[in-house]
Amino acid sequence: MTIGPVQLLVLGFKQPDFRGEVQEELQRLRDNDLVRVIDALVVQKDAAGDVAAVRGSQLTDKEQVELGALVGALIGLGAGGEAGMKAGAERGAQAAAERGGMINEEEAWDVLAEIPEDTAAALILLEHRWAIPLRDSIARAGGFRLASEFISPLDLVSLGLVEAREAEELATAERAAI
């Protein structure tokens, strides 16, 4: 199983109005083999403090077990060499099969329990499929990632990549959501 670079997105939604748009966009990206949701956990806390949670993935059950085995093998290799790799692969596959995903719900609940009332939060483990050939070519050239960050729209103005008006609109929308 080839896996692309993986990113953990932690998103907040103030007074959420979920109409399926985010899910539809993630599906469109998946249909075009650009990204794939490895695991997602969305938690919504209503005005009364009641919590509802939904979990999802775009991986099949078989792919989840394969990914769990791969992650477990890498952890085991680092911890105990070749013997650790085999044991780690078995444990990783079993954990993925039992949990139905890669995000550990106990740890996620610690983070998500802090969300305010009338708010939602999402943890999305996102695989960047489009980046596999780029990552591999960088590795073949001896390159490696030193940092990876999203750049604020306002910072793009100073680089001349967007107009100030457009950046201010994006930044205002982002601040309003907080």
In a domain, 93, yes or no: yes
Q: Is the pTM of this model over 0.75?
A: no
178 residues of the chain, pLDDT tens digit each: 678 898 988 888 888 888 999 999 999 999 999 999 999 988 888 888 888 888 888 888 888 788 777 777 777 766 777 777 777 777 777 776 666 565 666 665 666 667 888 999 898 999 999 999 999 999 999 999 898 887 777 777 777 777 888 878 877 777 776 6
In a domain, 22, yes or no: yes
DSSP collapsed to 3 states, the chain: CCCCCEEEEEEEEECCCCCCHHHHHHHHHHHCCCEEEEEEEEEEECCCCCEEEEEECCCCHHHHHHHHHHHHHHHHHHHHHHHHHHHHHHHHHHHHHHHCCCCCHHHHHHHHCCCCCCEEEEEEEEEEHHHHHHHHHHHHCCCCCCCCCCCCHHHHHHCCCCCHHHHHHHHHHHHHCC
Distance CA 154, CA 160 (A): 10
In a domain, 37, yes or no: yes
In a domain, 34, yes or no: yes
In a domain, 46, yes or no: yes
| Domain with 87 in it | 6-131
Residue 110 has what pLDDT?
64
In a domain, 52, yes or no: yes
Q: How many domains does the chain have?
A: 1
In a domain, 161, yes or no: no
